[in-house]
Structure 1
Amino acid sequence: MNIAVEHIATDQPPDEAKARDLDYGWQSGNQVELLENGEAYFPRVFDAMRAAQREILLETFILFEDKVGHELQGILIEAAQRGVKVVVSLDGFGCGELSAAFLAALADAGVMVQMFDPASKTLGIRTNWFRRLHRKIVVVDAEVAFIGGINFSADHLGDFGPEAKQDYSVQVTGPAVADLHHFALAQSGRQVRTRRGWRRRQQRPSPWATDSGEGLVRLIYRDNLQHRDDIEEAYIYALSKAKKRAVIANAYFFPGYRLLREIRNAARRGVQVQLIMQGQPDVLLAKLAARMLYDYLLKDGVVIHEYCQRPLHGKVALVDDDWSTVGSSNLDPLSLALNLEANVLIRDRAFNQQLYDSLETLSKNHCQVIPPKHKPRLWLWRLTVGFLVFHVMRHFPALTGWLPAHKPRLKPFESQAHD
């Protein structure tokens, strides 16, 4: 049995790249709901898929063959069998362990399965580490969309145990869903038509809405073409406008100097700046790198919490009373310089308060505060190691540029499935 799985390359050919260089502006009149962890996210997104009448578009970095993955598989197969168009885009690294039988069941039911940058193992090691499809987007019937940091895996559920991840996504309904739908179609290689009322903008709209009304949503994304810095620029712009408070909860924190400076400058002018970092990281290097930045930020009044209950996987932030962002992008070199990412910016006071309350509960009940005069035990050893980590992380994107570039192609490939 053969599975037809399309191969999406890292960057599109020049003609396709130009057509898919999309700028999205602010859309008003949306409803946005925060979904915290798999307990809130999976029931909501699975119910939307079960009710689908026409189309399901799904992008995810990780899909595992566990109880969540098998439930998703069953829902997608049932939807395809009743005539719903189902397109699933998976990352070749994050989903590299999926079995041929698992993919065959989807393909046989009529699901279009696409794999981003698949690569076979070399000496038992996966080599497609960089330039990942890291987005997590679901759009159902062009009427409801989900975007955030939650993958389709059981480690986003509390019953997974101490290693269960703390994470966030949002459900969006309203006019902004059309932008998410258009984007998901274009990025999956589908032919798209310019929908009525949408136009490609010649100049990028401001990361800050000119209208401070409720329910404003804007899709932003990072690619390796003309939107390399859009997510980072949105953070920088929002922080430069902050007057009251700013809270950033991020799993992997090692941003560039411009963003670090804006965080520090906000604290210097009296903004209450709070960072929530990993206290129990799933990647030790990430914790070492983040801690290298603590003294630089603490001395200017930034409050730093480390979340210690379980691994933090969130990628969320808020500024003042009405600006928030939720998405897939960490604030580290992988997300800001290599991965394909997507966030939504949200101008809505009710949502901002909901996110703030959630993060306040996290910081007060499950975090430890890093003291302003932070000097850990064995500090000289940590300083030496940290110095090396700092410079490796700082130059990491440039170093990866020496690696062979992916060929910009979109083509199907064949894979043998189990009988």
Structure 2
Amino acid sequence: MTVAVEHISTDQPPDEAKARDLDYGWQGGNQVELLENGETYFPQVFDALRKARREILLETFILFEDKVGLELKAVLIEAAQRGVKVVVSLDGFGCGELSPAFLRELAEAGVAVQMFDPAAKTLGIRTNWFRRLHRKIVVVDAEVAFIGGINFSADHLGDYGPEAKQDYALQVTGPVVADLHHFALAQSGRQVRTRRGWRRRQQRPSPWHTEKGDGQVRLIYRDNVHHRDDIEEAYIHALSQAQKRVVIANAYFFPGYRLLREIRNAARRGVRVQLIMQGQPDVLLAKLAARTLYGYLLKDGVVIHEYCERPLHGKVALVDDDWSTVGSSNLDPLSLSLNLEANVLIRDRAFNQHLYERLETLAKNHCRTMPENRKQRLWLWRLTVGFLVFHVMRHFPMLTGWLPAHKPRLKPFEVQHHDT
């Protein structure tokens, strides 16, 4: 049995999908709902998928063959069998362990499965580590969309145990869903038609300017072509305008100097700046890298919390009382310099306040706060490790630039499966 799985370009859009190079403006009149962890995210996504009438577009970095992945497969197959067009885009690294049988069942039911930069293992090791499809987007019937940091895996559920992730996503309805729908279509290489509800910008507008108001949402993204720093620039601008409060909850925190400087400058001018970071990391290097920055930030009044109950996987932030962002982008070299990411910016006071309350509860009840005069014992090994980690992370994008670039075109890719 041969299952056709399409192969998506990692750095360049296909020639027929020039609509990828788009900027999306602010859209008003949207409804946004914060979804915290898999317990709230998965039921609402699966309910929307079961109600789909015409089309499902789904992108994810990770899909495992666990209870969440198996339920997703069943829901997608049922949708395809009742005539819904289903397009699923998976990352070749994050979904590299999916079995041919799993993919075959989807394809045989009529689901269009696409794999982003798949690669066979070399000596039992996957080597396609960089420039990943890291987005997590679901769009159903161009009417409801989900975006955030939650993958389709059971480790986003509390019953997974101590390694269950703390994470956030967003459900969106309203005019901005047309932008998310258009973006998802363009990124999948599908034919994109001009439709009411989205506009193509020939000139790039500021990715952060809008009149303050409830229900204002904007899609922003980073790629490796024309939108390399849109998400980072949105953070920098929002921080530069902060007057009251800033809260950033981010799993992998090692931003560039410009963003670090804006965080520090906000604290210096009296803004209450809180960072919520991993205290129980799923990647030890991430914790070591973040801690090399503590001294720089603490001395200027930044409050740093480490979430210690379980691994933090969130990628959310808020500034003052009306600006927020939720998405897939960490604030580290992978997300800011290499991966394909997508966030939404939100200008909605009620949503901002709700997000603030949830993060404040997390900080007060489930985190340890770093003391302002925190000092580490300056053991030689600690200095050496800290020095190496800092400079490796600092120059990581440049180092990966020496590796062969991933630039495959959109072409058929086949997974072989032989029935017995």
- The TM-score with structure 2 as length reference comes to 0.98
Residue 417 (1) aligns with residue 408 (2): no
After the TM superposition, which residues 357-396 of structure 1 pair with which residues of structure 2 at under 5 Å, given as runs? 357-377=357-377, 379-396=379-396
> Match of 2:134?
134
Residues 12 and 410 in structure 1, CA contact (< 8 A), matched pair in contact too:
no
Return the letter of the residue paired with 1:99: S
1:384: Cα distance to partner? 1.9
Return the letter of the residue paired with 1:87: V
Q: What per-residue deviation string (whole Å, max 9, x for no partner) do you get for residues 120-163 of structure 1?
A: 00000001000000000000000000000000000000000000
After the TM superposition, which residues 317-396 of structure 1 pair with which residues of structure 2 at under 5 Å, given as runs? 317-377=317-377, 379-396=379-396
> Match of 2:258?
258
State the secondary structure of the residue aligned to 1:219: strand
Larger displacement relative to structure 2 (260-269 or 205-214): 205-214
> Match of 1:199?
199
Return the letter of the residue paired with 1:101: A
Cα distance in 2 for residues equivalent to 1:360 and 1:224: 35
After the TM superposition, which residues 85-104 of structure 1 pair with which residues of structure 2 at under 5 Å, given as runs? 85-104=85-104
Residues 185 and 191 in structure 2, CA contact (< 8 A), matched pair in contact too:
yes
> Match of 2:217?
217
> Match of 2:271?
271
State the secondary structure of the residue aligned to 2:107: helix
Residues 49 and 56 in structure 1, CA contact (< 8 A), matched pair in contact too:
yes
State the secondary structure of the residue aligned to 1:90: strand
Cα distance in 1 for residues equivalent to 2:13 and 2:268: 45
* CA root-mean-square deviation: 1.2
Residues 100 and 418 in structure 1, CA contact (< 8 A), matched pair in contact too:
no
Cα distance in 2 for residues equivalent to 1:181 and 1:367: 37
Residues 156 and 165 in structure 2, CA contact (< 8 A), matched pair in contact too:
yes
- Equivalenced residues, count: 419
Q: Unmatched 5+ residue regions in structure 2? A: none
Residues 4 and 413 in structure 2, CA contact (< 8 A), matched pair in contact too:
yes
Return the letter of the residue paired with 1:3: V
1:72: Cα distance to partner? 0.2
Residues 267 and 300 in structure 2, CA contact (< 8 A), matched pair in contact too:
yes
State the secondary structure of the residue aligned to 1:128: coil
State the secondary structure of the residue aligned to 1:88: strand
Cα distance in 2 for residues equivalent to 1:131 and 1:305: 30
Return the letter of the residue paired with 2:334: L
1:382: Cα distance to partner? 1.9
Cα distance in 1 for residues equivalent to 2:17 and 2:56: 24
Cα distance in 1 for residues equivalent to 2:29 and 2:125: 48
> Match of 2:40?
40
State the secondary structure of the residue aligned to 2:70: helix
Residues 30 and 176 in structure 1, CA contact (< 8 A), matched pair in contact too:
yes
Identity of aligned residues (%): 87
1:202: Cα distance to partner? 2.8
The alpha-carbon distance between structure 1 residues 312 and 379, as it changes in their structure 2 partners (threshold 3 A), is farther
> Match of 2:77?
77
The alpha-carbon distance between structure 1 residues 13 and 133, as it changes in their structure 2 partners (threshold 3 A), is closer
Cα distance in 1 for residues equivalent to 2:260 and 2:266: 10
Residues 131 and 406 in structure 2, CA contact (< 8 A), matched pair in contact too:
no
Residues 61 and 134 in structure 2, CA contact (< 8 A), matched pair in contact too:
yes
Cα distance in 2 for residues equivalent to 1:379 and 1:61: 39
1:34: Cα distance to partner? 0.1
Cα distance in 2 for residues equivalent to 1:225 and 1:14: 12
Return the letter of the residue paired with 2:270: G
Cα distance in 2 for residues equivalent to 1:358 and 1:232: 24
Larger displacement relative to structure 2 (38-47 or 189-198): 189-198
- The TM-score with structure 1 as length reference comes to 0.98
